[in-house]
Amino acid sequence: MMGPPTIEAEILAGLADVDFFDTRREDAMDPARLARVDALMVWGAPVTRRIIPHLTRCRGVVRFGVGYDKVDVAALAEVGIPFANNPDYGTEEVADHAVALLLSLQRRLWEHDARSRTYGATWQTNTLSPLHRGSKATVGVVGVGRIGTAVVNRLKPFGYRILGHDPHQPAGHEKAVGYTRVRHLDELLAESDIVTFHCPLDGTTRGLLDAARLERFKPGAILVNTARGELLAGLDPLETALRSGRIAAAGLDVLPSEPPAPHPLIDAWRAREPWLQGRLVITPHNAFHSDAAALEMRSNAAWTVRILLEEGVLRNRIAP
């Protein structure tokens, strides 16, 4: 959570009191207080079998965010507690952030910025090549749900050829949204000049981007990830792919470990080493954020709880 629960308390006024667990650690949550809650809203803390047995009167758990890889939905279901996420906030922000990374890397803006600092007698003659025209490039979108669809809609006016891979979308989704469906991920990777990831983290996607998978990218491709850092199977494969040129550039809002631990790739990025300048852009897991999104996130979650307590209906429910 971001600060004291004043927004939540206002929405739940007259129906429920708010008890604020100001921690991201399960072992810091008082079992007696947990036993009194009728609903639990959670931001950064995990919800596992460590605290679930104490939720004896809880009628539902609601996550402020979209992803729920830290929540043991199956364990909640075993004791009859439904779970919901908060999918209808921040869509515009994440889509804007992904497209900003994509366009800037495709135009090599950060590399121009880094190199321009060294130019003296020459200026305009310092062009970078290859530098591809957007309307001649292919963008692959992995995960075409709410955010992926918003990305597709933003990219269409630029003239990109857009491929999409998402086995969870129904037949015809690609026709309604406006992209070419690709059944196999490796086929999308082989054809795409830029690949942007918007898939959830689960057993099928964790470690998806390992060394073998990165070798299936089109040579010189750009990788953008604003989804989950654990899609990367560590930073070693990405460093290898960047050094070899298989991946021309990467824009990451998420990392396998946050804040990032010391690693040769992170060290090279921090030091602005010449081989990496402008080719790796990292933002601190804040693609979702804007002032409006922060308010929307908290109010939506609180309204989900209010509807649950008043009507017995948990919207955005996630099946185990």
Nearest to 241 by CA among 216, 269, 263: 216
| Element (DSSP H or E) covering residue 223 | strand 221-225
Which residues make Cβ contacts (< 8 Å) with residue 165, sequence separation at least 6? 140, 141, 142, 143, 144, 181, 182, 183, 184, 185, 188
Mean pLDDT score across all residues of the chain? 96
Strands 138-142 and 83-84: unpaired
Give the tens place of pLDDT for each residue, 100-153.
999 999 999 999 999 999 999 999 999 999 999 999 999 999 999 999 999 999
Bridge partners (DSSP) of residue 84 are 62, 317
Give the tens place of pLDDT for each residue, 253-267.
999 999 999 999 999
Alpha helix (H) ranges present in the chain? 6-11, 31-34, 73-78, 91-106, 109-116, 146-155, 173-177, 185-191, 211-214, 236-244, 264-270, 291-311
Q: What is the pTM of this model?
A: 0.89
Which residues make Cβ contacts (< 8 Å) with residue 262, sequence separation at least 6? none
Count of CB atoms situated within 10 Å of the CB of 11: 19
Alpha helix (H) ranges present in 139-290? 146-155, 173-177, 185-191, 211-214, 236-244, 264-270
Q: Annotated catalytic sites, by residue?
A: 228, 258, 285
Cβ atoms of 197 and 231 closer than 8 Å: yes
Rg, the chain, Cα only: 22
Q: Given pLDDT bands bounded at 50, 70 and 90, which one contains residue 82?
A: very high
Domain 6-85+292-318 is found in CATH 3.30.230.70: no
Q: At residue 2, does pLDDT exceed 70?
A: no
Which residues make Cβ contacts (< 8 Å) with residue 211, sequence separation at least 6? 233, 236, 237, 240, 241
Structure letter (DSSP) for residue 145: S
Q: What CATH number has the domain spanning 91-282? A: 3.40.50.720
User: Distances in Å between the alpha carbon of 213 and those of 189, 240, 242, 246, 299?
Assistant: 9, 12, 14, 11, 39
Question: CATH 3.40.50.720 region(s) of the chain?
Answer: 6-85+292-318, 91-282
Give the tens place of pLDDT for each residue, 14-62.
999 999 999 999 999 999 999 999 999 999 899 999 999 999 999 999 9
